[in-house]
Amino acid sequence: MSQYWSELVKGLSPYVPGEQPQIPGLVKLNTNESPFGPSPKAIEAVRLAAADTLRLYPDPQSMRLREALADYHKVTPAEVFVGNGSDEVLAHAFAALLKQPRPLLFPDVTYSFYPVYCRLLGINHETIPLDAEMRVNVSDYLGRGGAIIIANPNAPTGIALARAEIARLARERADVPVVMDEAYVDFGGESAIPLIGDHPNLLVVQTMSKSRALAGLRVGYAIGQPDLIEALTRVKDSFNSYPLGRPAQAGALASLADEAYFQETRAQIMQNRASLTASLTRLGFEVLPSAANFVFARHPKHSGQAVAAALRQRAVLIRHFSGPRIADFVRITIGSEAELMRLTDALAEVLAAPGN
């Protein structure tokens, strides 16, 4: 704390991302990164963008990328917004759409960045408990509160909501903006993008960080009717005109063009998720049904914190969250087959060791 801080900064409680330590031989399954590299074509495009043209500002509208995303998702470029990772796109959505007179609604267990944006932007919010099976129940969001944001699949549970349920939510709450955060949707969820034509209040946010293995490039986007996109653009142009540099725009474009690589790698992750779920179940864990690139699991005899700490000593990083309903659980990112083998071997050792 310093005398130079603004009142706003004194009151913040920032988001804490998963750690990125430099431990040799580390198996890193704590931040939902992809175990595979990005498409080789994306890497090549980023390399080509590292050229003399870097002295020039990039296209502030990211027009080519927005056109490609529009093509890909069967919408128009006026229905696409891009930003520096979906975290930035979400921040703009909070400012542009989710700050309403009545409190913003989101689940009690969800992406822990949401309350952080609320604090930064002075947004009142109310959390809605997940049901007994840790699921989002759309009925709980009807007839109450202001705008709504839901991660689908939810984090850190990994549980997905069916498109028909999202349509019901958008229809029944046509009085407010509804934002779906689809960071993990490519691993088995149903995207709400096909619904935007019928729902002027629906904004869908996606990222290239997970299923396209481009977390380091920082590219996220939102899809919704032009009025909603214009609201985001107004905030962006009051904040940073050039959120995506030339390498990011070029790399994202090339990734989008490599459909075969995208399909292959996401299928491999879903396959690895099935085998990890089976191994964890054999080890006595209860594993929530995941449609994401991670699983959320708990062991009846070992606390989440103890499991995570013991694995860390064996150079395997997973994530533990302390919090009322989730402290028993650990969240494990779906890694490569070799990484998951290291994880399950280490886990078997940890569970067998006396005192754990």
DSSP string, 238-274: TT-S--S-HHHHHHHHHHHH-HHHHHHHHHHHHHHHH
Q: Is 295 in the site for ligand PMP (CB under 6 A)?
A: no
Stretch binding ligand PMP (CB under 6 A), from 80-88, 276-284, 308-316, 340-348: 80-88
Give one DSSP letter per residue of 37-49, joined into a string. Answer: PPPHHHHHHHHHH
CA 315 from chain center: how many Å? 25
87 counts as binding ligand PMP under rule CB under 6 A: yes
Task: Choose one: 207-215, 221-229, 247-255, 319-327; the region binding ligand PMP (CB under 6 A).
Answer: 207-215
In angstroms, the Cα distances linking 187 to 13, 222, 272, 286, 356 are 31, 18, 11, 20, 33
Q: Is residue 152 at the binding interface for ligand PMP, with CB under 6 A as the rule?
A: no
Question: How many chain residues touch ligand PMP (CB under 6 A)?
Answer: 12
Binding residue for ligand PMP, selected from 120, 150, 166, 183, defined by CB under 6 A: 183
- Choosing from 220, 247, 304, 335, the residue that interacts with ligand PMP (CB under 6 A) is 220
Residue 111 in contact with ligand PMP, rule: CB under 6 A = yes
Contact between 162 and 137 (Cβ < 8 Å) = no
Residues facing 127 on adjacent strands: 106
Is residue 243 a contact residue for ligand PMP (CB under 6 A)? no
Binding part of the chain for ligand PMP, among 72-80, 82-90, 222-230, 250-258 by CB under 6 A, reads 82-90
Q: Is residue 86 near ligand PMP by the rule CB under 6 A? A: yes
For the bound state, the minimum distance from the C-beta of residue 4 to ligand PMP, rounded and expressed in Å, comes to: 29
| Spatial contact of 345 and 310, defined as CB atoms under 8 Å apart | no
**151 is an interface residue for ligand PMP by CB under 6 A:** yes
Give CA–CA dist 214/347, Å, rounded.
29
Does residue 344 interact with ligand PMP by CB under 6 A?
no
155 near ligand PMP, rule: CB under 6 A: yes
> Which SS3 state, helix, strand or coil, does residue 66 take?
helix
| CB of 115 or CB of 200, closer to ligand PMP | 115
Rounded distance between C-alpha atoms, residue 329 and residue 342, angstroms: 20
DSSP class of residue 70 equals: H
Q: Are 102 and 146 in contact (CB under 8 A)?
A: yes
Instruction: Give least dist CB 124 to ligand PMP, A.
Output: 21
Position 178 contacts ligand PMP (CB under 6 A): no
Site residues (CB under 6 A) for ligand PMP?
Answer: 85-87, 111, 151, 155, 181, 183, 207, 209, 215, 220
